[in-house]
Structure 1
């Protein structure tokens, strides 16, 4: 089965999502690559939220053997605004999409019987992004250093660091990772090598959503 023919697909904003999710799912007991050497879910990065459009959602739902389609996006500054934007993009294709996203993530069957879901990082409720979600996995013994990393990143901003205010979560998690053994691992590697704890209770909501959406 060619990758493009995978009936189960997930659209994500960027490369970090693309790399993190398979590691996270595998660490929670689900083999990512099947016995035919195909991923259990095909993930496609869209190079930014703005590229997850009504046309893209429609096309993906109509593609070939598609049976399941999911979206994972960042809440950024306002999860309710992000949800309304997603909902508006979905409505032309999914007329039964609810007005509010459940705290447990959206999973519905479309009018033509396909499985469709949405998860807004970090938890469908608060502002934030993938990196906020990853901070939930910081081990208990790393909490003190994590608090210090948060303070350092904020002070760096006060001292003229030029990252956008909305990227504070990224700055904080990468600051913390820079102090691990070995320094500077990418976030998906931090999961793979257990620098982060992918079995933490705070991330199990996402794992449950993913498993239920894709019938795993």
Structure 2
């Protein structure tokens, strides 16, 4: 869908699949179109959402994520109030609820070092941002 919109807008060399390290499409020659960066959450490979990406920032070996998964899975049939498409949201928010200061928003959870901004997924995303906006 994104590729179709970019092609319709006049961009060439639009890949049919996103680049694993983030897609950057330069503006066409003799065009006023801007350079475009495309990042599909969570990592340009897997289907998902922002909350899936954030789970990549949970430090390796953190057993609370396993407990969060078990807690979500143990909700009795008919009592779970969120759809399957919202499990990733429930998962990260459950995990965040069990931190030293429960309920921190995502940005504050990174500042508090609950989520690690130096995990490999964050480094790839930061590199793409740098290449897209500062190269």
TM-score (normalizing by structure 2): 0.87
Stretches of structure 2 that go unaligned for 5 or more consecutive residues are none
Query: How many pairs were matched up?
Result: 131
Q: Give every structure 1 segment of 4 or more consecutive aligned residues whose post-TM-superposition deviation is greater than 4 Å.
A: none
Q: Indicate the structure with greater strand content.
A: 1
Displacement of 1:181 in angstroms is 0.8
Q: What is the match of residue 86 of structure 1?
A: 2
Shift of 1:159: 5.1
2:21 to 78, 98, 104: 104
Q: What runs of 5+ residues in structure 1 fail to find an aligned partner?
A: 1-84
Tell me, yes or no, if structure 1 residue 121 matches structure 2 residue 41: yes
Per the alignment, in what secondary structure is the counterpart of residue 21 of structure 2?
Answer: coil
Distance 1:140 1:191 in 2: 15
Q: Match for residue 138 of structure 1?
A: 58
Is residue 65–residue 95 contact of structure 2 (8 Å, CA) maintained in 1? yes
How far off is 1:157 after superposition?
Answer: 6.7
Larger mean Cα displacement after TM superposition, 199-208 or 150-159: 150-159
Deviations 1:90-141 (A, max 9, x none): 2221331222211111101121263111000111001111111101111235
Whether contact under 8 Å (1:154, 1:168) holds in the other structure is no
Aligned to 1:107, the other structure's residue is in SS state strand
The answer on whether the counterparts of 2:43 and 2:121 sit within 8 Å (CA) in structure 1 is no
- Which residue, out of 67, 81, 94, partners 1:162? 81
| Contact 1:157/1:163 (8 A) holds in 2 | no
Q: Which residue in the other structure is 1:59 paired with?
A: none
Give the root-mean-square deviation of aligned CA atoms.
1.7
